[in-house]
Structure 1
Amino acid sequence: MSNTAITRSLFDQVMVPNYSPLAMIPVRGEGSRVWDQENNEYIDLTGGIAVNALGHAHPELVAALTEQAKKLWHMSNYFTNEPTLELARKIVANTFAEKVFFANSGAEANEAALKLARRYAFDHYGKEKTEIIAFHHGFHGRTFFTVSTGGHAPYSDGFGPKPADITHLDYNDLSGLEKAMSDKTCAVILEPLQGEGGVLPIDKAFAQGIRKLCDKYNALMILDEVQTGMGRTGSLFAYMDLGIIPDVLTSAKALGAGFPISAMLTLDKFAGSLTVGTHGTTFGGNPLACAVASKAFDLINNQAMLNGVKEKERLIRQALEEINNEYHAFEEIRGSGLLLGAVLNEQYQGRAKDLLLACADQGLLVLMAGASVIRFTPALNISDQLLEQAMDKFKQAVKVLAE
């Protein structure tokens, strides 16, 4: 089949209809720009939903992948390999973690974290300690366990009986959590900034309160940093700004800067419950993914890059404020670093998709976080000049929406 036959209509013919992609098909990317089949250029503020932390086709990542591709692609978990151990060593040296488990996606990392919490509780406190507490509007993946733990019922309804002993509470409501927790609670899982749930930041006091309650009830505090981790908020991981240390942390998305990889980070005393045979993955920690992620880790984990994230946040907020002064479309701009949400006001409720499409018409790619929030997750290294151009395009799209 020739490329001329690859059209958007082919998606409807051959793909399961669980997505609804835009009409344009991207074929090439460089930095924070992409081009479609007709060579139309777009500025990319989606970052692959916070995945392409260093943009498209970063030369050092391409070199790392190419070099490893000539050596070793895959063995199995009967063996270990050098890139896996090197990446794990970097993670342990730069975080609270003492042990790392590698998988392929955020859902898999969260699945491992939830299974670890249940197994640790079983090993140390008995079979009755099984409750997992999560939060409304949270998102932790699409496996049946993680989607049931997530706080979007429509994502988990209609697939039969759900995993038991999962309790959902309101995010940032510490008193509600205090009332709900007990000796039966084995884990509390949360995002330090709810991404899919509307780019909702955490209250620092809430995070610190969870830490104290988990200590009180011998429950594991699981921090889902799939979207916030690897520099997205201006720190290597968001927990570093909250005055807490989690028991378990999950990372994916930007960890491989576009190459599929995820990790579950934890401490020795918890990791010991995942003995040989209790959990596994065929592709997790493969040499290709770890070689790319190791290079990405080096490029992201430096102060100049992290400081730049905060400066670019300031530029975006300033531009959005100026746009809003003219068109009065947004109720609030919220988020942290380069995970920002523009919340549409009452006049434009439910029209985030319209604005997203108007942006695409202007040559700008953005995201939604619910029906009334536009989400921005650009590459961490996007230039100030390109950001300025992007905000000009966004202004034109808002103008179209306001007409």
Structure 2
Amino acid sequence: MSALAKNYNRRKIAFKKGKGSFLYSTNGKKYLDFVQGIAVNSLGHSNPHLIKAINKQSKKVWHVSNAFLIPEGEKLSSRLAKKTFASAIIFQNSGAEATEAAIKVARRYFYSVGKPKKNRIICIKNSFHGRTIAAINASGSKKMIEGFGPKVPGFDHFEFGNLKSLKKKITNNTAAVLIETLLGEGGIKVHSKIFLKNLRKICNKKNILLILDEVQCGIGRSGKFFAFEHAKIKPDIVPIAKGIGGGFPIGAVLMTKKVASAMIPGTHGSTLGGNPLAMSVGNAVLDMIFKKGFLQNVQKISSYFNSELIKIKNDYPKLIKEVRGTGLLIGLQLFKEQAKFIKKLEDNKLLTIRAAENVVRILPPLNVKKSEINLAINIIRKVCKNLM
């Protein structure tokens, strides 16, 4: 008898091993895994390079605390800073922690420059930034907040893609705008490049920090290291997690030099964040993603996958409403509730997961093979045919 709490609606499958894009169940079935831990296993299951890094570091030292220097973390932070907008990084253990840290950083910055009342955060209504108290209040979702009152003050909300709605929420006390660059849980919704460019301009004009949550869409999943690179803008703060650990718990908040100046000793911390074992895995992930041609291949194979999915949509226009996403963060929006479709895919040995707005979320590993994409395409087409 399991003593696990019932806060998850778990599927009745357990797995004994995984290899690359595939999972093998305890009852001997092989599944093409296009969930990958919900965009966590960026390099697939049991990646040899990550295994080597874990084995090597595990024989040295696992944890020492941030009371001491951690060379592996210094290396990872330097590599991230060199390749991105950031000048400073604080390591965490998860996306929710990274989001909480991002909120703290934004508020602390304005406190440090003598504007303590400039502390409100504007977010998208019905978005997703994690399940901690601040994160669920940032989401603006009544369903997520229900039962976890009182409501945490300091958050305002606007409608997705609506700059007029956003502008109405801005006051002299607005510290930051916090949005996912590409909404994941919210239905694989892509902001236009024009929206993101104009958002950056508004933040500049109003002296507001721009926080872009790249927990799910970052670390190569969009075809670029960060999804905001497609719009050619630079944020002030970026929380990351999921893909940077390749399956190992790592989170981080990246920030500009200006903003980081407020984070003096004692302003934030994490007991386990940035431990040597996690940092070694993070460095191993970057070894792969920073390889020449890696991200270009993500763009190439995702373009192929997207074009094939559009063909299926056109063949089944009464079933599939829209193909959404960027790179290998993909959504099939259905006209009807998606649970039956996801179950049929699972019955045919393809694992996917839901998102809001009747979306079937499809998240292959970034190093997925074309043959595996073709297998998924054939299964999706078969399920569409059987459901019509």
TM-score (norm 2): 0.97
Deviation at 1:242, TM superposition (A): 1.1
Deviation at 1:319, TM superposition (A): 2.4
Q: Distance in 1 between matches of 2:366 and 2:63?
A: 30
Deviation at 1:206, TM superposition (A): 1.5
1:359 and 2:322 equivalent? no
Q: In the alignment, residue 43 of structure 1 is paired with which amino acid?
A: L
Q: Distance in 1 between matches of 2:302 and 2:352?
A: 15
Name 2:111's counterpart in structure 1.
Answer: 122
Task: Describe the superposition over 1:112-163 as per-residue Cα deviations: whole angstroms up to 9, x where unpaired.
Answer: 0001111111221423212110001321111100111013221122111122
Deviation at 1:262, TM superposition (A): 0.8
Name 2:274's counterpart in structure 1.
Answer: 285
Deviation at 1:371, TM superposition (A): 5.3
Distance 1:381 1:42, change over 3 A: same
Deviation at 1:212, TM superposition (A): 1.6
Q: Distance in 2 between matches of 1:194 and 1:137?
A: 10
1:386 and 2:372 equivalent? yes
Name 1:7's counterpart in structure 2.
Answer: none
Q: In the alignment, residue 375 of structure 2 is paired with which amino acid?
A: Q
Q: In the alignment, residue 320 of structure 2 is paired with which amino acid?
A: F
Report if aligned partners of 1:354, 1:401 keep a CA contact under 8 Å in 2.
no
1:92 and 2:81 equivalent? yes
2:99 pairs, out of 110, 113, 126, with 110
Q: In the alignment, residue 343 of structure 2 is paired with which amino acid?
A: L
1:28 pairs, out of 12, 17, 30, with 17
1:101 and 2:87 equivalent? no
2:138 pairs, out of 124, 149, 170, with 149
Task: Describe the superposition over 1:324-360 as per-residue Cα deviations: whole angstroms up to 9, x where unpaired.
Answer: 3333311110110000111112xxx22x111111111
Q: Distance in 1 between matches of 2:24 and 2:57?
A: 28
Report if aligned partners of 2:157, 2:166 keep a CA contact under 8 Å in 1.
no
Task: Describe the superposition over 1:293-351 as per-residue Cα deviations: whole angstroms up to 9, x where unpaired.
Answer: 10101201234111111222222223223323333311110110000111112xxx22x
Q: Distance in 2 between matches of 1:269 and 1:372?
A: 41
Counting only pairs closer than 5 Å after superposition, residues 4-403 of structure 1 correspond to structure 2 as 10=1, 13-328=2-317, 329-345=319-335, 349-350=336-337, 352-370=338-356, 372-402=358-388
Report if aligned partners of 1:183, 1:218 keep a CA contact under 8 Å in 2.
no
Which moves more between the two structures, 314-323 or 224-233? 314-323
Q: Distance in 2 between matches of 1:315 and 1:132?
A: 38
Distance 1:303 1:192, change over 3 A: farther
Distance 1:205 1:322, change over 3 A: closer
Q: Distance in 2 between matches of 1:358 and 1:151?
A: 32
Task: Describe the superposition over 1:80-100 as per-residue Cα deviations: whole angstroms up to 9, x where unpaired.
Answer: 211111101100110010000
2:325 is paired with a residue whose SS is: strand
2:12 is paired with a residue whose SS is: coil
Q: In the alignment, residue 91 of structure 1 is paired with which amino acid?
A: L
Ranges of 4+ aligned residues in structure 1 off by more than 6 Å: none
Q: Distance in 1 between matches of 2:299 and 2:240?
A: 21
Deviation at 1:25, TM superposition (A): 0.6
Q: Distance in 2 between matches of 1:204 and 1:146?
A: 25
Task: Describe the superposition over 1:14-39 as per-residue Cα deviations: whole angstroms up to 9, x where unpaired.
Answer: 21111111111112000000100011
Which moves more between the two structures, 294-303 or 87-96? 294-303
Report if aligned partners of 1:353, 1:371 keep a CA contact under 8 Å in 2.
no
Q: Distance in 1 between matches of 2:176 and 2:18?
A: 41
Q: Distance in 2 between matches of 1:214 and 1:315?
A: 36
Report if aligned partners of 1:65, 1:292 keep a CA contact under 8 Å in 2.
yes
Q: Distance in 1 between matches of 2:372 and 2:112?
A: 53
Which moves more between the two structures, 307-316 or 282-291? 307-316
Q: Distance in 1 between matches of 2:157 and 2:114?
A: 23
1:222 is paired with a residue whose SS is: strand
2:85 is paired with a residue whose SS is: coil
Identity of aligned residues (%): 38
Q: Distance in 2 between matches of 1:322 and 1:220?
A: 41
TM-score (norm 1): 0.93
2:168 is paired with a residue whose SS is: helix
Which moves more between the two structures, 43-52 or 65-74? 43-52
The alignment yields a C-alpha RMSD, in angstroms, of: 1.3
1:187 is paired with a residue whose SS is: strand
Q: Distance in 2 between matches of 1:355 and 1:196?
A: 17
